[in-house]
Amino acid sequence: MSERGGATWSYDLFPWGFAALVALFSLFEENRSFGAQFWFVSALLLGLPHGACDHLVMARLLGHGIKARYIMSFGSIYLGAAGTMFLVWLLAPTAALAAFLALTAWHWGSADAQLYKDRSGDFVLRSTSRGTLLVSSPITLYPEETMDAFSSLLEVTGSARYGASWTSQLAPHAFIASLLLCCLLVARDVKRGRPRKAAREAIEDCIILALFLCSSPVAATGAYFLFWHSWRHVLRVDRFICGKRGGLSRRLVSYHLRALPMTAVSLTGLALMALVLGGSDTEALLSAYLMLLSCLTLPHAALVLFWDAKNERWG
């Protein structure tokens, strides 16, 4: 990827094109029933595996070899953090949902922001802008559908239907603020003589808006998670661990092979979680999967934050 923020096929054009296709398809899909398919595909392709090489990333960051003692230590901390999040879901599901949304906003936003090669305050500003746009868009544009999705997630824990009015009240303000911030970022990059950064920011914001405007919340977030966020993270990790070598298809296959052991562990966790929570219909399984992702997001996002800090994103 260009240090100046230019687009490349692997990092930019593929996720842009896929998101645009999903938005276009959604315009002609009347019952808005698709969307869960993206999430279920992500259990095996890109999505769940995108964090399954975290132990390799941390080992490289710390300069450790992949030995049994390291795997045990890393696994204990990682699973401990994920298990803590699961307990929060069981004991205080509404608080867990709020924490998950906030964590997702930062994690998704910062994952996109790191491509711009910003430093310190600029990185935080762009991360906040993008993450807020991603999380507030479905709540603002389709509040009823989004609240139904939140309720389904909470109901698997035995909690009552989600009815937090503050979410629907706060989201439109956050949505407008994120749009204004996006415009300011574009204008600032133009003023600083960085037209390629400005162009990427404008293009990505417009595609994201089109995706969330045309698609259901489940479809839009699933498409973004699968073929935007996870796609980019997989390529970033592969390049960090192995360097830029081989064709794109070979890199994707080799990544998934390296991720296979931890992906299998995660799928086992999903089966156990579904067993504990009960329910075998599609909606219940999707809710269990999203809950698993939220639990894994806590240690995964912390690791990526540490990675960005090591790369001096904080100045």
pLDDT score for 274: 81
3-state secondary structure 225-271: HHHHHHHHHHHHHHHHHHCCCCCHHHHHHHHHHHHHHHHHHHHHHHH
Task: Say if residue 173 carries a ligand binding annotation.
Answer: no
> CA 131, CA 119: separation in Å to the nearest integer?
17
Q: Is the pTM of the predicted complex or chain greater than 0.85?
A: yes
Q: Is residue 248 part of a domain?
A: yes
Q: Extract the tokens encoding 188.
A: 């600032």
Q: Is residue 1 part of a domain?
A: no
Domain total in the chain: 1
* Torsion on CA atoms 110, 116, 117, 120, rounded to nearest 10: -50
Tell the residue number behind the tokens 């994707």, with chain if given.
Answer: 252
Task: Say if residue 229 carries a ligand binding annotation.
Answer: yes
Q: Extract the tokens encoding 254.
A: 């080799």
pLDDT score for 128: 96
Q: Is residue 4 part of a domain?
A: no
Q: Is residue 268 part of a domain?
A: yes
Q: How far is CA 37 from the centre of its chain?
A: 16
Q: Is residue 17 part of a domain?
A: yes
Q: Is residue 3 part of a domain?
A: no
With 0-12 / 13-18 / 19 or more C-beta atoms within 10 angstroms meaning exposed / middle / buried, residue 83 is middle
> CA 235, CA 244: separation in Å to the nearest integer?
9
pLDDT score for 4: 39
Q: Is residue 115 part of a domain?
A: yes
Task: Say if residue 107 carries a ligand binding annotation.
Answer: yes
For the chain, how many residues are written?
315
Residues 55 and 266 sit within 8 Å (Cβ to Cβ):
no
pLDDT score for 162: 63
| Tens digit of pLDDT at every position of the chain (315 positions) | 343 344 466 778 899 999 999 999 988 876 666 788 899 999 999 999 999 999 999 999 998 888 889 999 999 999 999 999 999 998 998 899 999 999 999 999 999 999 888 877 889 999 999 999 999 999 999 999 999 888 888 888 777 666 666 677 899 999 999 999 999 999 999 999 999 999 999 999 999 999 999 999 999 999 999 999 999 999 999 999 887 667 888 889 999 999 999 999 999 988 888 887 776 677 788 888 999 999 999 999 999 999 998 876 544
Q: Is residue 291 part of a domain?
A: yes
Cα 192 to Cα 49, 70, 197, 204, 214, distances in angstroms? 38, 45, 10, 19, 33
Domain extent at residue 170: 9-310
